[in-house]
Chains A and B, each alone.
Chain A
Amino acid sequence: MNAGLAITRRELLSLFVSPLAWTILAVVQFIVAWTFLVQIDVFIGLESRLARLEAPPGVTDLVVTPTLSNAALVFLLVTPLLTMRLLAGERRGNTMQLLRAAPISTLQVVLGKFFGVYIFLLALLAMLVLMPLALLAGTDLDLGKLASGVMGLALLLAMLTSAGLYLSSLTRQPAVAAAMSCGLFLLLWLLNSGGHGDAVTGFISLAGHLQGMLRGLFTTADVGYFIIATLLFLALTVQRLDAERLQR
């Protein structure tokens, strides 16, 4: 397993010595902070009217949930930038041959790569969560709802990372991998938009499974969806890399 850790370590090192990681951290933080502040502004504007309602929606529903939802959308666009070079870049730089000649299994390579990006994305998520948590200084939050939303995003990120990793295994060109990942993610997001799809598209669609969790509805079906999709893409990546060694 140590060799897998070596790959994770190297991925993180390569990320943090490149400007890409820092740019992504800064840009995502800025965009999400902006929408967060806008939501707070809206909430303050509505506050007097909300007070007249019998069971008014709280700050968690009006500020935290929309912020996390916006963050999800940003993740769809940012993850491909991080996953695109994972395997396509190794091919291009000829380092794939280094990994293949090393005493390490394909599964270790794939998991090492996966965690290299996933750990970075979890750090990004942790930084975003600080914003809603900052509200604790002035008001009460529904921490259960927040936890459910954060779990949802963490699961979403796992799925996006593994899907991006798989698409990166299909090509030598990182840009092609990024385009395919972006396409796939947006398709999954929009598949059931407006609720017009049938049962199948409803099940495949990303947004449906995520929205429940962001609203605090933590169900086995939704968690299962993300975990199964993550494992499926990881297995496909292993299979793809092994097939390459056998036949070309």
Chain B
Amino acid sequence: MIEQQPPGETQGNNIPDCLLEARQLWRDYDGHVAVRDLDLELRRGDVLGFLGPNGAGKSTTMQMLSGNLAPSTGSIRINGIDLLDEPAAAKRQLGYLPEQPPLYPELTVSEYLDFCARLHGVARSERGRAIEAAIERCDLGDMRNRLIGQLSKGYQQRTGIAQAILHDPAVIILDEPTVGLDPIQIRDIRALIRELGRDHALLLSTHILAEVQETCSRVLMIHHGRVVHESRLDALDAGVQYRISGSTLPDDGTFRSLAGVAAVERVSPERVILTLDSEPPRVLAQLAAKEWGISEFTPQHRNLEQLFVELTARDTEGAA
């Protein structure tokens, strides 16, 4: 049943294993549109980083996907089951960790997980094993008989994650899972997220861009309630900009006349940044044929932060 698929190898539109699918989601509150026309798709093995500035409609979207809020229009399918038509069956496939972990401080970790297992309809015969597996995965073994209210923030967060993965859901939604943790705990949780991503579909909302770069296979940015960017992270990494240094570089016009070059940015007389719209080797071959004393041809990694700032700033200007 569990298909091992390393992140980065799901391809194309043949939807073999679409676990979470949202179509044309709209949500408005009293005339104010919080989310408009949002499409989202998650396959097994996907870890989708869900980004957006505060107030972009991120938490509204998370609440809709987790069944906490009904969308104004649109549909959500979890593992092929419509969330609005058959909420109980769809939610059985869903694990959700809200921003504040939903814990009962007066219970012990194992009492709490037992309650969650019953709540999610885990069969009696499976319950013990499911709880043990979740405790082990989240490294809660020493804490199982401690009161949740007396645990540190890090362990509380892990208990929250244990609750979300307990019933082995197809889709796991985590809202800012590493907020308030120390660096070691953050590292552990990120490792856990990557591990979970192998056989589940994960949606991860966060403000920490480095976290997305480290754990996610795809990224989706929303701003003013609509999707402004969606890509695979490896595609983002490869980049389309190249830095070229040479002792006798020609003027910008000459660069622009090369096939495959979309834009030229002059950094200094000896250095330009080219934006390519075709395969790099083609351009490289042309450059190599010229006698411009070229000593460097380096891909420019557009990092997530630049992209984030660009997209959100541009859209603000557009809306203003």
Contact = CB atoms under 8 A, between A and B. Distances in A.
Contact of B29 (A10, A13, A247): A247
B118 A2 contact: yes
Contact of A97 (B88, B102, B116): B102
A14 B96 contact: no
B119 A97 contact: no
21 contacts: A3-B118, A7-B119, A10-B104, A13-B115, A14-B106, A14-B107, A17-B106, A18-B106, A93-B102, A94-B101, A96-B102, A97-B68, A97-B102, A98-B96, A98-B102, A101-B94, A101-B98, A102-B91, A102-B119, A102-B120, A104-B88
A103 to B, nearest CB: 4
B133 to A, nearest CB: 19
**Top 4 closest pairs, chain A to chain B, by CB:** A6-B118, A98-B102, A101-B96, A103-B91
Given A101-B96, A103-B87, A103-B92, 4 more contacts: A17-B106, A98-B96, A103-B89, A103-B90
B163 interface: yes
B67 A101 contact: yes
Interface residues of A, number: 28
A102 B120 CA distance: 6
A99 B98 CA distance: 11
A104 B120 CA distance: 8
Interface in A69-127: 93-105
Contacts of B231: none
A103 B115 CA distance: 13
Interface residues of B, number: 32
A5 interface: yes
A49 interface: no
Contacts of B68: 97, 100-101, 245
A246 B71 CA distance: 8
Nearest to B64: A245
B121 interface: yes
A45 B92 CA distance: 66
B96 A97 contact: yes
A97 to B, nearest CB: 4
B118 A9 contact: yes
B239 interface: no
B103 interface: yes
Contact of A94 (B29, B98, B119): B98
Interface string A1-39: 011011101100110011000000000000000000000
Interface of B: 29, 63, 66-70, 87-92, 94, 96, 98, 100-107, 111, 115-116, 118-121, 163
Contacts, number: 84
Contact of B111 (A5, A13, A102): A13
Contacts of A196: none
B115 A9 contact: yes
A52 interface: no
B12 to A, nearest CB: 31
A103 B111 contact: no
B91 A101 contact: yes
A95 B111 contact: no
Contacts of A5: 118
Nearest to B112: A10
B121 A3 contact: yes
B308 to A, nearest CB: 27
A98 B118 CA distance: 13
Contacts of B94: 101
A103 B104 contact: no
A102 to B, nearest CB: 5
Nearest to A102: B119
Contacts of B90: 103
Interface string A228-248: 000000000000000001111
Contacts of B91: 101-104
A94 B100 CA distance: 7
| Most interface-central of A18, A98, A104 (chain B CB within 10 A) | A98
A99 B104 contact: no
Nearest to A248: B29
Nearest to B65: A101
Contacts of A6: 115, 118-119
